[in-house]
Amino acid sequence: MRFFLLVFALAIPLWVAETMLEVKGLPLDAPVTDFVATFAPATAAAILVHKKEGWGGVKDLLKRVFDVSRVRQKIWYLPVVVLMPAIYFLIYGAIYLAGLPLPMGFDIPFSMMPIICIAIFVAAAGEEVGYMGYAVDKMQARREALTTAIVMGLLWAIWHYPSIIQQGHGLEWIAWGTLGTVGMRILIVWLYNNTGGSVFVCILFHSIANIGRILFPKDHAHNPLVDYPAIHYSIIAVVAVGVVCLWGAKTLARYRFTGTKESL
């Protein structure tokens, strides 16, 4: 709990800044201050680790960013890389079938993509080093994986509320966004528990999700991921429910049809 209180405390000055700044440019029309706020979880984790273990502990924490050696079953890179693009295709198809206004073209900033991808990876690391590199194991030691993911997902969603409100979204949008955010955290914990506790995997998955938001078709009139939150976030939630049904709530790592479990 100290970790999450510290995360919120570190973010408060940025939330205040959001009320005074009209600087946008991030996916889903998010304020640029959100990019800075993404480092609050890693900063909170580093502060707590330093207090207990010193700088050596902080270095070990930061090394988790590239802990690829934990991933013993490389097949797990398939859902890490493919799942979110597949979800975005489903979202696009659902919007199309619903007959809702939907841009057909792609406006991909190819010249800027390398810089964008690096920035997104760094920002995702700022979150996941804290959530998955520090908090998740402590939480899972006391409760089952699904409960951990839901609690962390709810706190993660609440942490985004000031930014969402600043963007002008109402209660219905917030409710759908909360559902989707919890679903995303379930997917991240699922991947973490099946890849030997790899934070790199979580960062990569998170990064691909955010890159997909940039690449998703939109124009000046419509940004479908913003305009249709019920479709966007409910599909993510349905996929998360499927994962829970197949891998089990207790560990999210025991596949129903084989009984195998990836040890952390």
Express each pLDDT in 94-132 by its tens digit: 999 999 998 877 667 778 889 989 999 999 999 999 999
Q: Which residues contact 52 (CB under 8 A, 6 or more apart)?
A: none
User: What is the number of structural domains in the chain?
Assistant: 1
pLDDT at 122: 96
Domain encompassing residue 127: 2-247
Worst-scoring range by mean pLDDT, 26-40, 48-62, 94-108?
26-40
* Residue 260 binned pLDDT confidence (cut-offs 50, 70, 90): low
Q: Region 140-163: what's the mean pLDDT?
A: 96
Q: Region 31-35: what's the mean pLDDT?
A: 71
Note whether residue 257 is domain-resident: no
Worst-scoring range by mean pLDDT, 14-28, 91-105, 121-135, 199-213?
14-28
Q: How does pLDDT run across 153-201, given as a tens digit for each residue?
A: 999 999 999 888 888 899 999 999 999 999 999 999 999 999 999 999 9
Note whether residue 190 is domain-resident: yes
Q: Which of 102, 51, 128, 138 is nearest to 231 (CA)?
A: 102
Out of 3-17, 32-46, 133-147, give the one with best mean pLDDT. Answer: 133-147
18 vs 151: CA distance, rounded Å: 26
Q: Is the model's pLDDT at 205 over the cut of 90?
A: yes
Q: Region 222-239: what's the mean pLDDT?
A: 96
Q: Is the model's pLDDT at 26 over the cut of 60?
A: no
Average pLDDT value for the chain: 91
Note whether residue 262 is domain-resident: no
Q: Which residues contact 135 (CB under 8 A, 6 or more apart)?
A: 3, 4, 41, 45, 152
Alpha carbons within 13 A on the beta-carbon side of 53: 11
pLDDT at 49: 98
165 vs 167: CA distance, rounded Å: 5
pLDDT at 25: 52
Q: Is the model's pLDDT at 19 over the cut of 90?
A: no
Note whether residue 261 is domain-resident: no
Note whether residue 127 is domain-resident: yes
Note whether residue 259 is domain-resident: no
